[in-house]
Amino acid sequence: DIQMTQSPSSLSASVGDRVTITCRASQSIGSYLNWYQQKPGKAPKLLIYAASSLQSGVPSTFSGSGSGTDFTLTITSLQPEDFATYYCQQSYNTPRTFGQGTKVEIK
């Protein structure tokens, strides 16, 4: 199985900050990488698919980049509603493994 490792596991940031979350795959997965946002008690929400494609309706403050084994989710200006946990997921093959999550908290 492909292992997905996110860093950091958690971070504290302020409204307006630029935030970067990294996801590393244990083998090359091309651009088969998705990002999801999850708020407490809610289902995950798709943000980015195919490494860099922004899901319709998601603010343009979110962006994804990378290919191969190293990927990044960037939030250019953190908003109050962005405080949540973020997960990467590979869709190169099954099982479609997730990273362990990155919790973004208010500083």
Partner 1 sequence: EVQVVESGGGLVKPGGSLRLSCAASGFIFSNAWMSWVRQAPGKGLEWVGRIKSTNEGGTTDYAAPVKGRFTVSRDDSKNTLYLQMNSLKTDDTAVYYCTTDLYLGGWYSRYWGQGTLVTVSS
| Closer to partner 1 by Cβ: residue 60 or 94 | 94
58 Cβ contact partners less than 8 Å away, ≥ 6 residues apart = 46, 47, 48
| Closer to partner 1 by Cβ: residue 17 or 38 | 38
In the complex, the smallest distance separating the C-beta of residue 94 from partner 1, rounded to whole angstroms, is 4
Q: What is the C-alpha to C-alpha distance for residues 107 and 42, in angstroms, rounded to an integer?
A: 22
Q: What is the C-alpha to C-alpha distance for residues 44 and 78, in angstroms, rounded to an integer?
A: 19
In the complex, the smallest distance separating the C-beta of residue 14 from partner 1, rounded to whole angstroms, is 25
| Closer to partner 1 by Cβ: residue 13 or 46 | 46
Which residues are near partner 1 by CB under 8 A? 1, 31-34, 36, 38, 43-46, 49-51, 53, 55, 87, 89, 91-92, 94-101
In the complex, the smallest distance separating the C-beta of residue 38 from partner 1, rounded to whole angstroms, is 8
In the complex, the smallest distance separating the C-beta of residue 76 from partner 1, rounded to whole angstroms, is 22
